[in-house]
Structure 1
C-alpha cells in the first residue's frame, strides 16, 4: 500500500497532530472559544482554495470516470461549505463581518500555496496525494476521540461530522484514487506524490498550531 509507505515515514508527526493540544481541547471541550473561532475563520479560507485544487485535479484526471468522481466530491464539498456558512457559523457566533475582516494567517496561506504548487507542477496523482492528508487525518481524529464526549456541544458536533458515514466513504474513495495513481506512476512521480503527501501532513500539524497560537504575520502583511 503506497499510502502506508508515505505515512510510515511521518507517523510520529501524524500521531502528534492527532494529539495536538488544539485537538484534545476540541475533544474535551476545554478549548478556548476564541481559538475555535480563529480556527473556523482560517479553515473557511483554506477550504475555499481546497475546492479550487479539487477542480484542478478533475481536469488533470485522464479517465473520465475518475474526473466525474472528483466533480461529485466537489459538489458535496461546496454543499458542506454552504451549510457551514448558513447554519453552523451563525450558531457559534460568527457573522459575515468576521469573514469580511479576516486576516489570513501565514500557515493558512502557506498550506494553500503548497496545494496550488503541487497541482501546478504535478500530475493528478501528485495533486490528490497533496489533498489526501486533510481527509485522512480528520477521519482518524473522529475515530480516535469517538468515545469521548466534549463538554462543548459545538465542538462535539464538529467531531461527530468526521465520523459521518458519507465523510468516511469520501475518505476511502480518495485513498483508492491515490493508491491507483501511485500504482500507475513511475518512480519519479511516486517520489513527488510522497513529498506532496508528507508536506501536507506537516502543514496539518502547523494548522492546529496556528489556531492554538492565534498566529499572525510579524510584519504588516495582510493577504486575502
Structure 2
C-alpha cells in the first residue's frame, strides 16, 4: 500500500466528518444560507491567495522537473480560480470589492494558511507537499460525493462542478504521485512527519467549512 493510500485510510474518520458536515449537506441540497456561503467564498479567497504562495514555494523546492511544473501550474490555477470562480460568486452573492478587501482572515483561515507558511519556511519539502495535498484530495472527494445528489437547479452548481470535474481529479492524482514519490525516498522520521502534516491539514479542511457554516469571527 502506498503512503497516500495509508494516510487516506488513516484519516477516514475525519473524511466522514467532512462529508457529513451540514455546510456540505445543505450546499448539495441548495439550501445553504447565502450568508454562510458568502462567508466561505470571502475566506476561501483569502486562503487561496496564501495557498498559491505555498504551491509556488513547493515548486521552487521541488527536486524534480515534474514537481516544479506541477506545483507552479497549481499556483497559477489557484490564482485563476480566485479570479474567475470567486469573482462570479462575489457578484452573485453581493460581495463588493471593498467588502473583500476589508475582510479579515478568521482563526480557521489564518491558522490553516499560517501552518502552510510555517512548513514552507521551516520544514522539509516532503512535509510541505503532504500538507498541500488535502486541499486537492479532500475537495475532489467532496465534489464527487456531492455532484450525484445535488439538487437541480442549485445556486452552488458552479462550485460543485469545479471540484467534481475530471480535470481536477487528474490534478489531484498528479499531486498524489508526487507525494508518494517523496515518501518512497524518505526515511521513517520524515514519513511520520508527512503523515502528521497531512492529518493536520485535513483537520483544517473540516474547521474551514465549520467556520463558514457558523459564520465565525474572532471571539474577542
Q: Which TM-score applies when normalising by structure 1?
A: 0.92
Q: Hey, what's the Cα distance between the residues in 2 that align with 1:75 and 1:217?
A: 30
1:222 maps to what in 2? none
Q: CA deviation at 1:84?
A: 2.5
8 Å Cα contact 1:92-1:154 kept in structure 2: no
Match in the other structure for 1:3: 4
Q: State the 1:85 CA deviation.
A: 4.4
Q: Aligned equivalents of 1:171 and 1:65: distance in 2?
A: 14
Distance in 1, matches of 2:219 and 2:13, equals 29
Q: Aligned equivalents of 2:215 and 2:150: distance in 1?
A: 25
Contact 1:118 1:127 in 2 (8 A): yes
In the alignment, structure 1 residue 213 sits paired with structure 2 residue 214: yes
Instruction: Output aligned runs, 1:105-120, within 5 Å.
Output: 105-120=106-121
1:198: which partner in 2? Answer: 199
Give 2:170's aligned residue. 169
C-alpha distance in 1, partners of 2:33/2:80? Answer: 28
Work out whether 1:57 is the aligned partner of 2:58.
Answer: yes
CA distance in structure 2 between the aligned counterparts of 1:120 and 1:152, rounded to whole angstroms: 44
Residue in 1 that maps onto 2:47: 46
Are 1:13 and 2:14 matched, yes or no?
A: yes
**Residues 149, 69 of structure 1: CA spacing in aligned structure 2 closer, same or farther, 3 A cutoff?**
closer
Residue 36 in structure 1 maps to residue 27 in structure 2: no
Q: Distance in 1 between matches of 2:90 and 2:144?
A: 24
Q: For residues 155 and 87 of structure 1, what CA distance do their matches in structure 2 show?
A: 11
Distance 2:156 2:64 in 1: 39
**1:111-147 deviation digits (Å, cap 9, x = unpaired):** 1111111222222221110011111111111111221
Shift of 1:91: 2.7
The structure-2 alpha-carbon separation of the partners of 1:65 and 1:173, relative to structure 1 and needing over 3 Å to count, comes to: closer
Query: How many equivalent residue pairs?
Result: 219
